[in-house]
Amino acid sequence: MEKNSKIYIAGHRGLVGSAILKNLQECGYTNFVTRTHRELDLTNQQAVADFFATEKPDYVFLAAAKVGGIVANNTYRGQFIYENLMIQNNVIHAAWKNEVKKLMFLGSTCIYPREAPQPMPENCLLTSPLEYTNEPYAMAKIAGIKLCESYNLQYGTNYISVMPTNLYGPNDNFDLEKSHVLPAMIRKIHLGKCLQENNWDAIRKDLDLRPIEGIDGKAGEEAILTILAKYGICQSIPQSFNPSTSVELWGTGKPMREFLWSEEMADACVYLMEKINFKDLIGENQDLNLSSFVDKKEIRNTHINIGTGKEISIRELAELIRATVGYQGQLAFNTDKPDGTMRKLTDVSKLHELGWQHRIEIAEGVQRMYDWYLASSAAPRLSASGNEG
């Protein structure tokens, strides 16, 4: 990529896209084209086609997606598979039609089977059933990988797919129904601390910034306590100076998870976009077209895991967040709720061989995340998920 190349970042206001945009700017790139969801609905094929025909971007980062945690994935199954398929199909096809030089498709490590070997190598894709709770989203992302591979093989395009592990960082989604586990725990434990300290100013400020089911800081105390209790943030002795509180978390706390700071994910993406091409991922030094691969080896699993290769249990993460936030109340694990996949550790050996490794460990990242959460109250919020253009 040249510093003045026109770069389109689909999803530039979300957790992933905003981190990529920031990294590119810090690297000296200057020519960006972006659209919000209101300006461009990526599920609308004609709108996407018109956008590409007009703007003619040189490079594309496809970071827009319908995303969420275990509750959202399992509840809105139709929306998750439909919207993600539409977004990626429209963007990837329009990129080909308009001769985009290179495209990066971003997915997730939830594409791997529920019982995948640990750590999960790229070649375990499609070897056994997926985790049921996020199967629609995972199927859409697998389709995106195959779409990129297929266009590369048939049309000679240069599209690469990356599968980040669980991400967290600036502009994350803290919606208690739809967010991922780490930001949800940070917010719940923060609110638990505020409730225990009887700090209603902080609670109201939090709800004004991020209302829960329409309940904001202007609501009465009873309404606020009711909505907090619905999401497991409970006060056993209301109105007391130092009430006893508990924060309920889903599952047993035993599942192991890997987490990567979003700005490091962005650094890996920009690194790969600058230095790695599809040919580098298949070991072929020849022009890419369909006839080149007749009677040759099958081309599969060209995607790249992006992660740390390290994991922490949900219970250990909760205790780390509790210590970071300074919460003194109870943490309760509701074992009637699902755990999801028990382990999801990525094999990052391919990424390391390509020349990139992470630097920020989980303790430092959680502190950064909580600091950002507190500081974000002073600035307008950005969207962290959904079809953001």
Active site members: 137
Which segments of 197-242 does DSSP mark as H helices, in order? Answer: 200-209, 221-230
Task: Report angle CA 104, 166, 229 to the nearest 5 degrees.
Answer: 135
- Distance set, CA 261 to CA 133, 158, 168, 358 (Å): 24, 27, 5, 9
Cα separation, 293 vs 339, whole angstroms: 43
Cα separation, 173 vs 185, whole angstroms: 11
Cα separation, 353 vs 220, whole angstroms: 56
Q: What is the DSSP letter of 295?
A: T
386 Rama sector, left if φ>0, alpha if ψ -120 to 50, beta otherwise: left
For residue 281, the surrounding DSSP H or E stretch is helix 278-282
- By three-state DSSP, how is residue 205 classified? helix
**Is residue 337 within 8 Å of residue 251, measured between CB atoms?**
yes
Radius of gyration of the chain (CA): 22
Pairing state between β 102-106 and 59-62: parallel
Within 8 A by CB and 6+ apart from 192, the residues are 233, 245, 246, 247, 327, 329
